[in-house]
Amino acid sequence: MQKTTITPPQWSAGMFVQRYGIFLALLLLCLVLALISENFLTTRNILNVLRQTSINGILAIGMTFVILTRGIDLSVGSVAALAGVVAASLATTSSAGMVAGGPYPAVIAILAGLAAGMACGSVSGAIVARFGVPAFVVTLGMLSAARGLTLIYAGGRPIPNLTEEFRWIGTGSIWGIPVPIFLLLGTFAIAHFVLTQTRFGRHVYAVGGNPHAAKVSGLPLRRIRFSVYVISGALAGLAGMVLAARTGSGLPQAGIAYELDAIAAVVIGGTSLAGGVGRVTGTLIGALLIGVMNNGLDLLGVESYYQQVIKGILIVAAVMLDQSKNKQD
């Protein structure tokens, strides 16, 4: 009998770049900025970059779950604003926007903000999963509805004078490290565990990779699609509260266009818009890449308008790369 040998796959330069390209790009960008600006590698600036990245990183992690199932969530910026003003109304000492009996403990305000985010995600998820309406249309509608609810709830005015206890999640620090960084790392760790070590995570990849095969296999497609929008809404709520805590007030205009940065981080991080392919690690690096780029351009005195142009180019380039890989597969 002829013995069969299995040859391990040969690594090529293309495979290496495909797997680690985003990480190498981040390292290269940091190296260039360190050479150009002496302020870039200071401890203060690095912590500032990580703190600024935390909000987009949390949003992007939630977006990763949705995109892995071939969906999209355009409402995260508006949902973040809604959650921020809801939490702020429970944690303010100002009579203008205070809920009767306030201010409440920070835990109550945070739970209320998470509930607001999850409620929005539940509505979007239910419509997408139950009625099969395209996610683009549903979440575009939620973008407008959540923004309108935010303005109605806050009366079109900021809710100021938040308690120090609540503001701690945005301005506090532990061992000299800002709390938002810990929230980002905690969110990342949980999401990474869920997607790589749990049955739900495997189902998310299966639904995005081949919905028909997943349905034939008996997977609860509707429940999984519903769940990822709830997760996205909850994390949008968390991001919105961190933003409100950092600024010291619940702003009805907060979070405008934040969904674009979140989608950019996910796509640049290697998650396929076709679903089923991607890692939350790539999303985190993608968010860091955007944060470092914005910070570097600020240090170099480049106007924010140019940052938007560069970000748009990065998104299109990442999508084109994803399309070419899909055609090769």
Give CA–CA dist 318/51, Å, rounded: 25
Whether a cis peptide bond, with omega within 30° of 0, leads into 103 is: yes
Give CA–CA dist 84/25, Å, rounded: 34
Q: What's the pLDDT score for residue 297?
A: 85
Residues 6+ apart with CB under 8 A from 278: 64, 67, 68, 266, 269, 270, 271, 272
Going residue by residue through the chain, which has 329 residues, state the pLDDT in tens, using 9 for 90 and above. Answer: 455 454 555 555 555 566 667 888 889 989 999 998 888 889 999 999 999 999 999 999 999 999 999 999 999 999 999 999 999 999 998 877 777 677 899 999 999 999 999 999 999 999 999 999 999 999 999 999 999 999 999 998 999 999 999 999 999 999 999 999 999 999 999 999 999 999 999 999 999 999 999 989 899 999 999 999 999 999 999 999 999 999 999 999 999 989 999 999 999 898 998 888 899 999 999 999 999 988 988 888 887 778 788 878 877 877 777 666 656 65
Q: Is residue 131 part of a domain?
A: yes
Q: Are strands 173-174 and 177-178 parallel, antiparallel or unpaired?
A: antiparallel
DSSP letter for 71, please: -
Give CA–CA dist 209/69, Å, rounded: 8
3-class secondary structure for 97-128?
CCCCCCCCCHHHHHHHHHHHHHHHHHHHHHHH
DSSP letter for 278, please: -
Closest Cα to residue 44, out of 182, 168, 131, 173? Answer: 173
Q: What's the pLDDT score for residue 327?
A: 61
3-class secondary structure for 228-259?
HHHHHHHHHHHHHHHHHHHHCCECCCCCCCHH
Q: Is residue 312 part of a domain?
A: no
Give CA–CA dist 51/204, Å, rounded: 29
Residues 6+ apart with CB under 8 A from 173: 179
Q: Is residue 183 part of a domain?
A: yes
Q: What's the pLDDT score for residue 1?
A: 46
Give CA–CA dist 209/150, Å, rounded: 36
Contact criterion met (CB below 8 Å) for 228 and 204: yes
Q: Is residue 283 part of a domain?
A: no
Q: Is residue 246 part of a domain?
A: yes
Residue 72 phi, psi dihedral angles, 5° rounding:
-155, 150
Q: Which helix (H) or strand (E) holds 167?
A: helix 164-171
Degrees, nearest 5: CA angle 162-163-169 = 90
Number of domains in the chain: 1
Q: What's the pLDDT score for residue 102?
A: 72
This prediction's pTM? 0.91
Degrees, nearest 5: CA angle 4-8-12 = 145
Q: Is residue 315 part of a domain?
A: no
Q: Is residue 27 part of a domain?
A: no
Q: What's the pLDDT score for residue 10?
A: 55
Q: Which domain holds residue 78?
A: 51-255
Q: Is residue 181 part of a domain?
A: yes
